Amino acid sequence: MNTAVHGDLQVVIITGASDGIGAEMARQLAQRHGPALALVLAARSLQGLENTATHCRGLGAQCLVVPTDVAQEDQCRALIAQAVENFGHIDTLVNNAGVSAQALLADVQAEDLHWYQSLMQINLWGSVWCTHAALPYLQARKGRIVAVSSLAGLIGVPGRTAYSATKFAMTGFFEALRSELVGAGVSVTIAFPGVVLTQIRHHGLNAKGQTAGSSGLREDNGMGVAQCVRFIIAGMQAREREVVMTSAGKIGRFIKLIAPGIVERMAMNALKDEVKPR
């Protein structure tokens, strides 16, 4: 490896880069930075990663595809090691990989409850393991960490007990880490998307821990994925602490402090009728 060749490259690792927000983030960054960018793309789907990489290479970016299941610690650490082996450094880590879920706790049978733990392993621990492995390299470059949480990580949403738990945990971890890194020059940006028009909820889990195949949320006013990613990239580049990209999210988090019942009703109204508590 010739580090002189790679020294001026901006090296960005994106988990969950095979589709949705992660893939679109890779494409937009490649469009902006072209040959000055090296993308390390991680997800479980090799074909999805290759599709993302092909598009980004067409825009001039270098791409390293690393099939990764973030639920496995050894794969998270191998991802970071491969990035450093190929490019010599890391400038940005985007913790985006995650799985959604839609189920009322009362509908989950005791023998199926283990998938709550599995969801935590993906949504929280995948981010923790990747961040821990990348941290020395990010400190060396005074880099950036991006955590893609959710409005469900700020406001508990009915039917999202498992998902909200993982995203609240993720938010707490990265808020605490941000404080730890103040003197290191490493920024931590937490993004809180609302309903974004991707397939994440369709691929999410139902009460049995199986793929739901549909969304339990109303998506009439959902945000396009390209617009969502533009918000995240702007926040990342400005080293903002948080990116809350909807007016409902911005207002709701403050109303929650003084009139939590109103926020609970807002959250209930976001659900389709067929999945509301009976």
Q: What is the pLDDT of residue 189?
A: 98
Query: What are the catalytic residues?
Result: 163
List all residues 6 or more positions away from 263 whose beta carbon is below 8 Å from its beta carbon.
Answer: 155, 252, 255, 256
Q: What is the pLDDT of residue 217?
A: 52
Architecture of the 3-275 domain: 3-Layer(aba) Sandwich (3.40)
Lowest mean pLDDT among 110-114, 137-141, 165-169, 252-256: 252-256
Model pTM score: 0.87
The C-alpha torsion from 110 through 112 and 118 to 120, rounded to 10°, is -50
Residue located via tokens 């139902």: 206
pLDDT in tens, 127-148: 999 999 999 999 999 999 999 9
| Higher-scoring residue by pLDDT: 245, 198 | 245
Kindly list the domain boundaries of the chain, sorted by start residue: 3-275
Q: How confident is the model at residue 21 (pLDDT cuts 50, 70, 90)?
A: very high
Beta strand 187-192 with 242-244 is parallel
Q: How confident is the model at residue 3 (pLDDT cuts 50, 70, 90)?
A: very low
Residue 30 token pair: 């490649």
